[in-house]
Amino acid sequence: MTKSAAAARKHAPIFLVAAFAILPLSEPAQAQKSGGSITVGQELEIAGFDPLKVGVYDTSTFTAAAAIFDTLTTLNEKGEAAPKLAVSWTHSDDYMTWTFKLREGVKFHDGTPFNAQAFKENFDRQKDPANKCRCAFYITNVKEVQAPDDTTVVYKLTDPSVNLPATITIQSQNNVIHSPTAWKTKGDDYNRNPVGTGPYILKSWTAGDRMVLEKNPNYWDKGRPYLDRIVLKPLPDAQSRFASLQSGEADIIWDDEADADNILKAQKDSKLTVHTYKGSGAQVYAFNTKVAPFDDVRVRQALVMAIDRPKMSQAISNGLSRPASNPYGEGSWVKCKDDGALPFDVEKAKALIKDYGKPVEFKMLVTATPRGRMIGQVLQQFWKRAGANMEIEQVDQATIPSRAFTRQFQMTPWRIVDLADPDPQMYANFRSGSPLALAGYSNPELDKLLDHARVTADLGQRTEDYCAISRLINKEAIWFWTFQNTYYALSSAKLKGFPKIYNSVIDVSMTWLE
Amino acid sequence: MLNFVVRRLLAMLPVLLAVSLLTFLIASLLPGDLALVVLGDQATPENVAALRRDMGLDQPLWWRYLSWLGHVLQGDLGRSFRTGQTVLQAVAERIPVSLQLMLMAEFIGLLIGVPVAIACAARAGGAFDRFMTGSAFAILSMPSFLVAILLIYLFAVELHWLPATGYVPFSEEPLDNLRFFVLPALTLALAEWPGIMRVLRSDMIATLQEDYIALAKAKGLKPARILFVHALKPSSLTLVTVTGINIGRLLGGTLIVESIFALPGIGRLLVGAIYTRDLVILQGVVLLVACGFVIVNFIVDMLYAVLDPRIRHGHA
């Protein structure tokens, strides 16, 4: 084992990370101020932190997890992997083995030392089939994690991953590291009494009301964090959440495009700052190409060409939504000169449908929410103009995945979320035979490109692969994209040091008050 | 009297049983597979099937109901699969907030409604009466989410007198606690007082036409004494019912008002359970709230008997 790790190190380029080890997060030159307290207005109530209990973290839990826990790696200003609890890493030639060197002398809040064994225990607990953790799905690509010595962690993967350190930066149920002593001694109570190595320690938590986090005086990154206290509050109603920010009861709040009016209002308010992050990925839809009428490429192309994205953006979010022409978005490092997007052209769409010759009638799944219905109705109008009849089928949010997996749909909404690398989602969504390849479309050329992109290290070459993939998918119109992912947080102008909203996580752990 | 209490208590049993059955059916017939909710989007069919077996979801509905009812009767309402909390723990944490909100809202509602009703009844058809009846109708037609947002903008964002959202327990910061409750309680009270006012007003008008009031007037009693002492008590039967129903309703928390003002009460617990499909919490809380409602109505019946002797003697 040590031998293979050593071999991996010999053959692989060693990431130049030592220079970052002193300042793990590059930050704009501003004078950080210590002290003070902020209140974060969140959308949801946090259920807990034990992956075995909650399965997956939601956006509100991410924020708390980013303060209480650490991950092995983090993303720097440029969106590249940078050290956190791991100080350096190497990989094998085939990108199937990744070896991480851990930071020494780090302790969990309860005094338990953080080391490779602790990390492995975290991983094994999630992976253990007996624990039936919902979280296990997201680590199916990791065969095992080994801990050859105290400061070395080795990931053994089932499939190559050229960008693993960047894809494990999100403060999710799988990546944040818990104190093994804490979950063993606290049992069922651990879920609501989390213990990590992070910059903040959970002080108190009143269900439904507030979670109080206090500065960790022994944090390994000396001089940080800056704030003495972070209070997280669930403020479920968008209007009163915004009013709380205006009146000063909250210093920063979660928001999204559905609340466009308040975002626009905040942009005009000098006392407030609108933090926007143009993430990668997009809101997407899949055609089931195995069933009529979508077994015919003309119909698929016609429907895609009938969508007027700028008008749709006006209708659903006051123009805030950014039209998408590929699955990567401006937030991704994949930049295409030509992504092959079909133009908006109603006449062409009509002609294609006429050419098809049969009436185009189908059902589209939409989530049974006001927003889901609105999007469905807008699309319905566009398609009617092109001569196609879409019937909206409203289903529960939880029903969509099961319908999608069993292919009981003609058209379904889906998501490509912001991740540091396109590979995991692109491979799953488009490689023939993948359970997530919802379109049921198979093309050797597409498979070849996907296989090549995931084992190539050169970013230029990978970009070419992914652009070719986009051109192919757009031309065949097996999926289509409406809008790119944009993430929002609104804060008081006094709050400084707020980082990009990577992976949709509102991370306030290294902020300060001016 | 004891006979009356026992009769009423026995009458509650079938109601409670029906409530439990309905609660269970509503939660069970909601779309979405509970096993799928627990295991998540990407669960394999085998895992879902295994969990369905573990949770007893493959059993017939009647069997699941009886088994759930059995547990409920032993005081075990189940445990949330998301938080690991038991239903009773979750409710115990939230109920003080909803209780306080309910009491303050009812108090403010009565504080506005009762004097206005008496003043209106005293001069029925007069200018004040017409004005108040009209305004009550206008206020009643405003939905609570609108009232809440208007109050927040006025008192929190513009005037900075009161906080927009939030909560602290009374035991920690009594004054702040009351400040947090003023706007939500006022929002609810603004919807409560027109109802209170209207029933009391019409009952008062009817009472004031009774012979004994004419006699009191003829005896030369002061109008205030007639209104408050002789007319109010016999006129308040419907008011007690309305207040009872309001209390029962508010006991379950108010989904909208608690959400807008971010009060961690029963209503928020329910909304959260619905969003996250936490059916165990959902059916447990609905059952407890429904029981609370039945019990409050039982107490109202008892109050009736105190207020009107005819009822406890079975003549009514």
Question: Angle at Cα A398 formed by Cα B288 and Cα A320, nearest 5°?
Answer: 110
* Phi, psi at A366, each rounded to 5°: -135, 150
Question: Angle at Cα B38 formed by Cα B35 and Cα B41, nearest 5°?
Answer: 90
Cβ–Cβ gap B32/A239 under 8 Å: no
To the nearest whole Å, the CA of A314 is away from the closest chain B CA by: 25
Which of chain B's residues have a Cβ under 8 Å away from the Cβ of A188? Answer: 84
Gap between the Cα atoms of B48 and B52, Å rounded: 6
Q: Which helix (H) or strand (E) holds A232?
A: strand A229-234
Of A505, A430, A496, A499, nearest to A38 by C-alpha is A496
| Number of other residues whose CB lies within 10 A of the CB of residue A13 | 8
Q: Is A306 exposed, middle or buried (0-12, 13-18, 19+ CB in 10 A)?
A: buried
Q: What is the mean pLDDT of chain B?
A: 85
The least confident of B7-11, B30-34, B112-116, B291-295 is: B30-34
Gap between the Cα atoms of A134 and A127, Å rounded: 10
Q: How far, in Å, are B187, B190, B198, B246 from residue B195 at the CA level?
A: 14, 10, 5, 10
Whether B164 contacts chain A with CB within 8 A: yes
Gap between the Cα atoms of B281 and B279, Å rounded: 5
Beta strand segments in A292-401, E: 360-367, 388-395
Cβ–Cβ gap B84/A208 under 8 Å: no
Cβ proximity of A454 and A246 under 8 Å:
no
To the nearest whole Å, the CA of A442 is away from the closest chain B CA by: 22
Gap between the Cα atoms of B185 and B101, Å rounded: 6
- Measured over the CA atoms of residue A187, residue A190, residue A196 and residue A201, the dihedral's sign is negative
Cβ–Cβ gap A398/B157 under 8 Å: no
Which of chain A's residues have a Cβ under 8 Å away from the Cβ of B261? Answer: 240
Q: Which residues of B27-49 are buried (b: 16+ CB within 10 A; e: fewer)?
A: beeeeebbbbbbbbbbbeeebbe
* Phi, psi at A102, each rounded to 5°: -95, 155
Q: Which residue has the higher pLDDT, B252 or B95?
A: B95
Amino acid identity of A494? K
Task: Provide the pLDDT for residue A6.
Answer: 41
* Phi, psi at B269, each rounded to 5°: -60, -45
Cβ–Cβ gap B84/A53 under 8 Å: yes
Q: Which residues are bridge partners to A286 per DSSP?
A: A412, A479
Rg for chain B (alpha carbons), in Å? 24
Gap between the Cα atoms of A472 and A483, Å rounded: 19
Both tokens assigned to A448:
């070849």
Task: Provide the pLDDT for residue B253.
Answer: 64
Task: Provide the pLDDT for residue A14.
Answer: 38
To the nearest whole Å, the CA of A418 is away from the closest chain B CA by: 18
CA dihedral A350, A351, A357, A361 (to 10 degrees): -20
Query: Which of A172, A173, A190, A237 would you mutate first to test chain B, the one with the most B CBs within 10 A?
Result: A237
Task: Provide the pLDDT for residue A375.
Answer: 94
3-state DSSP helix/strand/coil % of chain A, to nearest 5: 35, 25, 40
Q: Is B92 exposed, middle or buried (0-12, 13-18, 19+ CB in 10 A)?
A: exposed
Gap between the Cα atoms of A426 and A416, Å rounded: 9
Contacts 24+ apart (CB under 8 A), A497-502: A497/A27, A497/A30, A497/A32, A497/A226, A498/A252, A498/A275, A499/A25, A499/A77, A500/A75, A500/A77, A500/A79, A500/A277, A501/A275, A501/A277, A501/A279, A502/A75, A502/A79, A502/A169, A502/A170, A502/A277, A502/A279, A502/A418, A502/A420
SS3 A244: helix
Q: How far, in Å, are A25, A328, A337, A479 from residue A78 at the CA level?
A: 10, 17, 21, 30
Gap between the Cα atoms of A374 and B35, Å rounded: 29
| Sheet strand arrangement including A37-42 | A200-206, A210-215, A229-234, A37-42, A252-255, A479-492, A272-287, A411-416, A360-367, A388-395
Gap between the Cα atoms of A89 and A73, Å rounded: 10
Helices B279-307 and B266-275 pack at an angle, to 10 degrees, of 150
Cβ proximity of A95 and A2 under 8 Å:
no
SS3 A177: coil
Per-residue pLDDT band for B139 (boundaries 50, 70, 90) equals confident
Q: Which residues are bridge partners to A38 per DSSP?
A: A230
Q: Which residue has the higher pLDDT, B27 or A219?
A: A219
Cβ proximity of A229 and A213 under 8 Å:
yes
Q: How far, in Å, are A232, A243, A259, A422, B262 from residue A249 at the CA level?
A: 12, 9, 19, 39, 12
Question: Angle at Cα A369 formed by Cα A368 and Cα A372, nearest 5°?
Answer: 85
Of A199, A194, A86, A186, nearest to A145 by C-alpha is A86
Q: Is B134 exposed, middle or buried (0-12, 13-18, 19+ CB in 10 A)?
A: exposed
Instruction: Give the contacts of A279 (CB within 8 A, at least 6 positions apart).
Output: A329, A331, A417, A418, A484, A485, A486, A487, A501, A502, A503, A504
Chain mean position to CA A452: 23
To the nearest whole Å, the CA of B89 is away from the closest chain A CA by: 10
User: DSSP characters for B171-215?
Assistant: TT-HHHHHHHHHHHHHHHHHHHHHHHHHHHHHHHHHHHTSHHHHH
Of A150, A165, A117, nearest to A17 by C-alpha is A165
Q: What is the chain A residue with the closest CA to B93?
A: A207
SS3 A393: strand
Q: What is the chain B residue with the closest CA to A400?
A: B41
Cβ proximity of A213 and A190 under 8 Å:
no
Restricting to B residues 176-205, those with a Cβ less than 8 Å away from any Cβ of A are none
Residues of chain A under the 70 pLDDT cut: 1-30, 398
- Measured over the CA atoms of residue A233, residue A234, residue A240 and residue A243, the dihedral's sign is positive
Amino acid identity of B13? L
Cβ proximity of B280 and B80 under 8 Å:
yes
Q: Is A347 exposed, middle or buried (0-12, 13-18, 19+ CB in 10 A)?
A: exposed
Which of chain A's residues have a Cβ under 8 Å away from the Cβ of B47? Answer: 132
Total count of residues recorded for chain A: 514
- Residues of chain A whose beta carbon is less than 8 angstroms from a beta carbon of chain B are 41, 44-45, 47-48, 50, 53-56, 132, 134, 137, 188, 191-192, 206-210, 233-237, 239-241, 243-244, 246-247, 249-250, 395-396, 398-399, 401-402
